[in-house]
Amino acid sequence: MLYIKCPHCGMRSQNEFSYGGDATIKRPELGKEISDQDWDNFVYNRKSLRGKHWELWQHISGCRQWIKVERDTATHEIFKTLKANEEISL
Partner 1 sequence: MTQSFRLKSGGLINRDKKISFRFNGKKYFGYEGDTLASALIANGVHLIGRSFKYHRPRGFFGAGVDEPYAIVQLYRNGETEPNIKATEQELFEGLEAKSVNCWPSVNFDVGAINNFLKIFLPAGFYYKTFMWPKSFWYKIYEPFIRKAAGLGTVSIKHDKERYEHKYEYCDVLITGSGPSGLASAYSAAKNGAKVVLAEDKSRFGGTLLTSDVNIGNQSGKEWADSIVSELKEMSNVTIKNRSQVFGYYDHNMLVMSERISDHLPKTKKYHPKQRLWYIRAKEVLISSGSIERPIVFGNNDTPGVMLSSAAKEYMKVYGVLVGKKPIVFTNNDSGYETAIEFKKNGVDPIILDTRKEPQSEIIDEAKNMNINIKNSYVVVAAQGYKKVKSADIAKISDDKEKLGSVENIKCDCICVSGFWTPTIHLASQSGNKTKFNEKIDAFVPGTSKQNEKTLGAANGIYTLEETLKDSFEKGNQLSKEITNNDNKVSFPNVVEKKSTVHDKFWCVPLPKGKNYKRFLDFQNDVAVSDIEIALKEGYRSIEHVKRYTTLGMATDQGKTSNLNGLQLVSKIENKVVPAVGHTTFRPPYSPVSIGAIVGREVGKHSKPTRKSPMHSWHEKNNAVFVDAGVWLRPRYYKRGEENLFEASKREAKNVRTNVGVCDVTTLGKIDIKGPDAAELLNRVYTNAWLKLPVGKARYGVMLREDGIVMDDGTTTRISENHYHMTTTTAQAANVLSHLEYYLQLVWPELNVNVVSTTEQWAGAAIAGPKSRDVLQKLFPNSDVSNEGFPFMGYMEGDLFGVKARIFRISFSGELAYEVNVQSDNGKFMWEKIMEVGKEFKIQPYGTEALSTLRIEMGHVAGSELDGRTTPYDNSLEGLLSKKKDFIGKRSLSREAFMANDRQKIVGVVPLDKKTSIPEGSHLVKDSNAPLPNPKLGYISASCWSVEHNNPFSLAILKDGKNMIGKKLFVMSPLKNKVIPVEIVSSHYVDPKGERVRS
Residues that bind partner 1 (CB under 8 A): 1-3, 13, 18, 20, 27-28, 30-31, 34, 36, 39, 42-44, 56, 58, 60, 64-66, 75-76, 78, 84-85
Q: Residue 90's binding partner, choosing from partner 1, Zn ion, none, with beta-carbon cut-off 5 to 8 A by kind?
A: none
Dihedrals φ, ψ of 37, to 5°?
Answer: -65, -45
Q: Residue 34's binding partner, choosing from Zn ion, partner 1, none, with beta-carbon cut-off 5 to 8 A by kind?
A: partner 1
Q: By CB under 5 A, tell whether 53 contacts Zn ion.
A: no
Distance CA(69)–CA(71), nearest Å, equals 6
The CA distances from residue 72 to 27, 62, 75, 79, in Å, are 24, 24, 5, 8
Angle, vertex CA 64, rays to CA 63 and CA 66, nearest 5: 115
Residues 5-24 that bind Zn ion (CB under 5 A): 6, 8-9
